[in-house]
Every structure is written in structure tokens, then in C-alpha cells.
Amino acid sequence: MTARILGGIGTSHAPSIAHAYDKGLQAEPLWAPLFAGYAPAKAWLAAQRPDLLIVLYNDHMNRFFFDAYPTFALGVGERHALADEGWGRRDFPDLPGDADFAWHLAESLIADEFDPTICQELAVDHGILSVLPLLCDPPWPAAVVPLAVNVIQHPLPTARRLWKLGHALRRAVHSYAKNLRVVVLGTGGLSHQLHGERFGFVNPEWDNRFLDLLEHEPEVLASYSHRQYMEWGGAESVEMIMWLGMRGALGPKVRRVHRHYYAPLITGYGLAVYENEQ
């Protein structure tokens, strides 16, 4: 039996989520709705018992810098360290990797005309770590293969490029000869802007429109430009294109398991869990 994709999770990431978690604010009125929204996703993931998580995220200048910021970077190590983002390393174990599958993925992506930077050491930051503890408890129950995407340093890959990357991920998984149960995560966004005249901009109407289209008409989202994402959701919301990598890895039709949205602060926090429709 070959590897197969069980489903996908789209989730916002934010340092504020990590700070709230580490300070034990899960039951505070401001944060309780956010953390409660992850409980069904956590239960689903535990029930699926995946062997591997492929996570699309962006590095926030903790591994890559503006002098050399790759469009795509793939971690192929047997473990992935946790980056210190300036307030000390968080109290979690390193993420286990799967070097055999990661090298297969690297070769498959390159054969598919994607050219990721291959990283034998790839420390990960809140792009993954702000939400992973909300989805599963350490010690981490599945290996992680991190795939970093440049949504910071222009020129950026297009939304359609991420959609096509998802298709390439699906082909890579299905061509892997070992029996692996895989879940794909796309992280980032939703609407937010952290600088300039529109600092604090949040657009719940666009965020929920995005979630509707992601489920039913993802190719519409693939047709939008960076400018459109930024105008509708704020400059940093261009991170949302990484959700298309997750959605593209699934089949044409999906069954929604769970959806949650919450926007109490300066970021629209979204969460969606899908299974492939058989």
C-alpha cells in the first residue's frame, strides 16, 4: 500500500496565539473562543492517527533573512529545532522529521518542476509552533515535514503557484511506496495588517468569503493577485495563499469536518478541516 492523504487543515498562525498558550490564558474570556475552536480539529487529528504532517508555513526571519530568502524551502532532517524568536525557546521538544519521505518529496517536487531549497537543518518558528500545540499534545504524535514559503520578500509566488504546489504534493505522496497516513496543513493569515496607515485592519467579511471559496471554488482564489489579497485582507494577509497549497493537495471535492472563525484583536483567526470526498 502506498502513502495517502487523509485530509487537510487550514489554520491561522500568530505569535499572539503562542503567547496566550504559554501564559495559560486558554480560559480567559478574550481567548477562550479561539482555543475552544481548535478542540474539534484536535479530536479529528487524533482519530486519524497520521504518521506524517506536511506543513506549509512562512519563516519570520528566524531561519531566512532578506539577503537570501528562498521562494520554497524544504526541511529534510530527522528533527527540526525550535527557533528562539527573541523571548527564549518555548518549552516543547523538537519536531520529529521523516528524512526518507522528505527526500522523496524533494526529488518528486524537482521532477515536477518545483525547485525548493533543500535544508538539512530547518529551525521552525511560530508559523508552525503557534498552532501545533492546539492540534496535538507533545510528545508530538506524528513526524513533520516543514515546507517554508516566501510570502514576505517580493517577488512572491502567485496564488496559482501555491495551488499547483498542492497538486505536486499530492502526486509526491501518492508515489511514495511506503504506507504512510498523511495530513497536509496550510497556515497563515487571515486578514491582518501590522504596519502603515491601515495598521490593525481586519476584514471578517473577506475572511469568511475566502473560507467559502476555499471549500467549494478554490480555483477562484488561485486566480486572485497579491494586490487583491492585500487590498481585501491587509498587507500581511497574502499569507492566505499557503492555504491553497493545502487545498490543492486534496481532491476536487472535500467534506468539511470543522470550520471556525474568530476576530477579537488585529488578526482574523480562521480554522478549517477537510477530508477528501471519496
pLDDT tens readout for residues 225-243: 999 999 999 998 999 999 9
Give me the amino acid identity at 70.
P
8 contacts 247 by C-beta, under 8 angstroms: yes
Q: Tell me the H-state helices in the chain.
A: 15-22, 32-48, 99-111, 126-129, 132-135, 159-174, 204-216, 218-222, 226-233, 241-249
- Please give the model's pTM, rounded to 2 decimal places: 0.96
Query: What class is the 4-276 domain?
Result: alpha beta
The whole-angstrom separation of Cα 145 and Cα 148 is 10
| Mean pLDDT within 191-209 | 90
54: confidence class by pLDDT, cuts 50, 70, 90:
very high
Mean pLDDT of the chain, nearest integer:
95
Residues taking part in catalysis? 126, 192
3-state DSSP assignment of residue 155: coil
Most confident of 43-47, 83-87, 231-235: 43-47
| Residue 277: per-residue pLDDT | 78
247: confidence class by pLDDT, cuts 50, 70, 90:
very high
249 contacts 109 by C-beta, under 8 angstroms: no
* Eight-class DSSP state of 29: T
With pLDDT > 70 as the criterion, what percentage of the chain qualifies? 100
278: confidence class by pLDDT, cuts 50, 70, 90:
low
| Mean pLDDT within 170-183 | 97
